[in-house]
Structures are given as structure tokens and as C-alpha cells.
Amino acid sequence: MSNTLYDLDFYAWANEQAALLRAGRFAEIDIDNVAEEIESMGWSQKSELVNRLAMLLMHLLKWRHQPSFRSNSWRGTIEEQRYQIRRHMRQNPSLQSQLDEAMTDGYGLAVIRADRETGLGRRTFPQQSPFTFDQAMDENFWPD
């Protein structure tokens, strides 16, 4: 087991690395772990996009496949996820290049969640997303 500050107290390590950067003491910086943490922050931004798309797509599937259960709660979730995805994309415009993969991954999660929440079975839902990103994000789009 390692006994570095990175392993023992991440918060203290992060503050120490920030102070070293600000002081220009680059030779003392824990380069490998700083690089790893920066990469991890980038992956978390993509992961957030996938999770928000999954929530949006799941509710669009439920909206389409369970019309008798439509509610203000579902409508609110769809509207909120659209807003949050737009906001996230504004803050991270380079994620645009990851949209195809994010939609594929998000839809896979959406089917798993929709199956669990509706009890309709995974075969009820198409293998590929029936919604494009633009449709899913269109505030006037409500699948029937």
C-alpha cells in the first residue's frame, strides 16, 4: 500500500497540487496523478451527458409506450433533462463530437431503466433509439 499524500488524503493532496501550480513550483508537482485526475474530470463530463440522456430517453419511451400513465411529473422530468443537457453542452461544447456514442450509451441505459420501471419487458422497446438527439431535445416533441 502506498503512503503518498495522494493515497492518504486526497483533499490535502489536491490543495497542495493547486498551491504548487500557483507558485510555479512545477518540478514538485505530482504530474502522473494530476494528469489522471484531469482526465477523470473530462470523463465525468461525458458520463453526466450519458446519464442525463438516459433519463430523458427513458421518459420519452415511457411517454410513448404508456400513454395512460402520462403525468406532469414525467413532463417535468423531460423538460428538466432537456434544459440540463442544453446547459451541459454549452459548458462543454467539445462533447458535441461525442454525441453519437453518448446517445447509444444513453439509450442502452434508458431501455434497462424503462424495463425496470414499466415492467413492459425490454423487447417492447426498439433496439436502436427511435429518437434522434434533435428530436429528444426539441421542446415541441412529445412522442405519441
Q: What pLDDT score does 70 carry? A: 97
Output the DSSP codes for 64-94: HH-GGG--HHHHHHHHHHHHHHHHHHHH-GG
2 has pLDDT over 90: no
Q: How many residues does the chain have?
A: 144
Cβ atoms of 62 and 117 within 8 Å: the answer is yes
Q: How far is CA 111 from CA 42, 52, 59, 78, 100, in A?
A: 26, 14, 10, 16, 17
Q: What pLDDT score does 1 carry? A: 66
CA distance 117 to 43: 28
Q: What pLDDT score does 15 carry? A: 96
Q: What cell was used for 142?
A: 412529445
Instruction: Pick the closest to residue 91 from 52, 37, 59 (CA basis).
Output: 52
CA distance 56 to 131: 11
Instruction: Pick the closest to residue 53 from 86, 75, 92 (CA basis).
Output: 86
Q: Map out the domains of the chain as residue ranges.
A: 43-137
- Over residues 116-120, the mean pLDDT reads 97
- Rounded to 5 degrees, φ, ψ at 67 are -60, -30
- Over residues 89-111, the mean pLDDT reads 97
Q: 10-67: per-residue pLDDT in tens?
A: 999 999 999 999 999 999 999 999 999 999 999 999 999 999 999 999 999 999 999 9
Query: What H or E segment, with its residue span, contains residue 102?
Result: helix 99-118
Percent pLDDT > 90 in the chain is 96
